[in-house]
Each structure stands twice: as structure tokens, then as C-alpha cells.
Amino acid sequence: MANLTLAVDGETLRKARIRAMQRGTSVNALVRDYLSRLAGESQAAEGIAEFQAAVGGAGASSEPAGRTWTRDELHER
């Protein structure tokens, strides 16, 4: 892991420390998380990409041309 030095005004840092404390984390962790999301490496983004890849090949569609069933067929008893 690489180190990064930032210059930020005192008031911004004070508010960031308060916000981090309220969230039970550190300013360092908040910045690291922000940079990861900015770079597109967040766990949520990875999860969404995996989900889209999984359902993309399912062949399911709600568009009329994509349906292979009718409403009545779904509700047959």
C-alpha cells in the first residue's frame, strides 16, 4: 500500500475528523474508501458488475419480443 500526503485547511480536517468519529472510522479510512470508489474499485461496484454479468446471459427480458410466456400461463393452476 502506498502512502499519500494531502494538504487541507484546518477547518476541513476538523470537520472530517468529527464526521469520521460519528461513523466510527478514521479520516484515513474515509479518504481511502473515497479514492477506491473514484477509481471504480468499490465492493458495491464489483457486486453490481458481477450481478449484471450473471443476469445478462439469462435470456430473460420484460420486453414484448423477449417474452416466452404469457400472463395466463404464469397463473395457471
Supply the pLDDT for residue 15. 95
CA distance 37 to 21: 21
Quote the pTM value.
Answer: 0.51
Supply the pLDDT for residue 45. 72
Q: Distance from first CA to last CA of the chain, Å, rounded?
A: 59
Confidence of residue 36 (pLDDT cuts 50, 70, 90): confident
